[in-house]
Amino acid sequence: MTFEFPYESPSIQPPLQEWPVAVHALHNSELAELRISARNNLAAAAQKYQSALSALAGDAGLSAGSFPEYSSPDLPLILTGHQPIVFHPGLVCKYQLTQQFAIRNQAYGAAVCIDSDFGDAGAFCSPAVPAADTTDCQQIEQRNVSWSTKPSLLLNSRLISATARQSLAASVQADLLKCNCAESAAAFGQFAERLQNLPEGAAAPAMTLLRQSAGIGNALAEVPLTELCRLPEAIRFFAAVLRRAPDFHSVYNQTMQDFRSQQDIRNPANPFPDLQSDDEGFELPFWMIQVSADSRLPLWLRRRNSEQWLCCGPERICSLSPGHEAEALMACLLSGYLAVPRGALITAFLRLLFCDLFVHGLGGGRYDPATDQLIRNWWQEDPPPFAAVSGSRYLFPEQRHRLAEEQQLLAGLRELQQHPEHYLNSGYFDEQTCARLQQLISQKQLALRELQQNRELGQPSRDVGQKLQSLGQELRNTVSSALQPRLAFSSMLTTESLAALQSRLWPWFFFSDHQQAFASEFTL
């Protein structure tokens, strides 16, 4: 199976033809049984969430996604996921490839909406011409804007008003046109029109629905992480960790430390920081989310004498009796607190309990080998496999082409200066420069012959050596002068402009062919 797509620096690891399409078997029978019911409930939760998106789509006159039913435990489940934010093309690439792979292999494709993070669901970067640059519009900068009212828990994010959306859209479209991005302005205009039809409300579902309506991940079963964490199977899975919290804490930290040592990683925060401890308890790899307060804090298990509690900072959430960990988590839910995994536990949870293949971006591809080790060390299981996908798309192709040419020229400049005779007909030099270089090369060849003859006759060659040095310097100067106009582009750009031209984080709605590219180019 081969796959090509219109992205720069594409990366698919392992190669697509090596991606497994089989139901992953677990050795632990209790965990395997839990996994069967968890997968069924994931599908049910996805169907419920998609129904809500479809209702929102219908009210706005948009088309929502659709996906097949999870009809059998023998059906492979391919999973990916990300925060419900404005996607950049690399995320589009990951979702589209996951979707097409699942469709072609008759697997159930799903995407976990990581709505438990804190951030800005509507944030994106837009190109703009600096206010001082009103002449050639050569300088470009990135302007950060948002469809959301403010940063928050992503599941709490809210859209700005319809009036504010209209104003923002007009501003962004005007900036795109000033930056000579007419195609992007047209693509963005279509997106902004669809967004304008949505009522004021939650931003995260709006961002998900709008990319689905554009065909991005529209055949993946979308399901919020916070909904998965409410499932009875998730409660049981988390309770098993709490039941042996001190042991898990120790194994988790040792796994991270061993991984850093094996990979020669010196940053203690990579791939995940160690869990902390003090005289009264242990930090656990969970967030405790309080939706009503728009807060999330690390979960701690605190102990004093024979009593223990689940705590967030100094606050005791509930008491924890041995053997009643699931009941404690349910009590937290009833009090408005939801435990959500973090660090290495999040993909360990998703991979062990739900999927047969998890598709990461490059970041996940770097850190999930540590999760593999955690799964082996704690659960004594072979981890379900994962893949990593990435690809980049950029605005400003002409400017980036000039930068690439300049970088290539700089890389070969020394060779051009030392041996210009090899490049006289390569297009690097104009006719006048070629003539001058040929003249200097001929003089250098004559001087070299004279130097050789002097050496053979035992005559002094100091004057000839000085002449060769002078000719070599003149050749280098002639080459440098001739190429200087082709090496001046980056020097004319500000640091901000260089960053903007090289950015791979422009939003998906500045591009118009994301759907067609994948539908037509995914081939057996």
Q: What is the pLDDT of residue 375?
A: 98
pLDDT of residue 49 exceeding 80:
yes
Q: Which helix (H) or strand (E) holds 40?
A: helix 29-60
The more confident residue out of 210 and 522 is: 210
For the chain, what are the domain ranges? 1-265+342-395+504-519, 399-502
CB atoms inside a 10 Å sphere around CB 104? 14
Q: Which of 411, 423, 394, 365 is nearest to 507 (CA)?
A: 394
Q: What is the pLDDT of residue 359?
A: 98
Q: Over the stretch 84-139, which tens digit does the pLDDT of each residue have?
A: 999 999 999 999 999 999 999 999 999 999 999 999 999 999 999 887 654 454 68
Average per-residue pLDDT for the chain = 90
Predicted structure pTM score: 0.88
Could you tell me the pLDDT band of residue 418, with boundaries at 50, 70 and 90?
Answer: confident
Q: What is the pLDDT of residue 133?
A: 55
Q: What is the pLDDT of residue 5?
A: 55
Contacts 24+ apart (CB under 8 A), 181-187: 181/127, 181/395, 181/396, 181/510, 183/512, 184/395, 184/510, 184/511, 186/512, 187/509, 187/510, 187/511, 187/512
Q: What is the pLDDT of residue 1?
A: 39
Whole-angstrom distance, CA of residue 298 vs CA of residue 310: 10
Beta strand residue intervals within 192-234, DSSP E? 221-224
pLDDT (average), residues 28-51: 95
Q: What is the pLDDT of residue 102?
A: 95
Q: Over the stretch 358-397, which tens digit does the pLDDT of each residue have?
A: 999 988 889 999 999 999 999 999 999 999 999 899 999 8
Going from the C-alpha of 65 to that of each of 101, 215, 218, 242, 290, the distances in angstroms are 17, 8, 4, 37, 30
CB atoms inside a 10 Å sphere around CB 191? 20
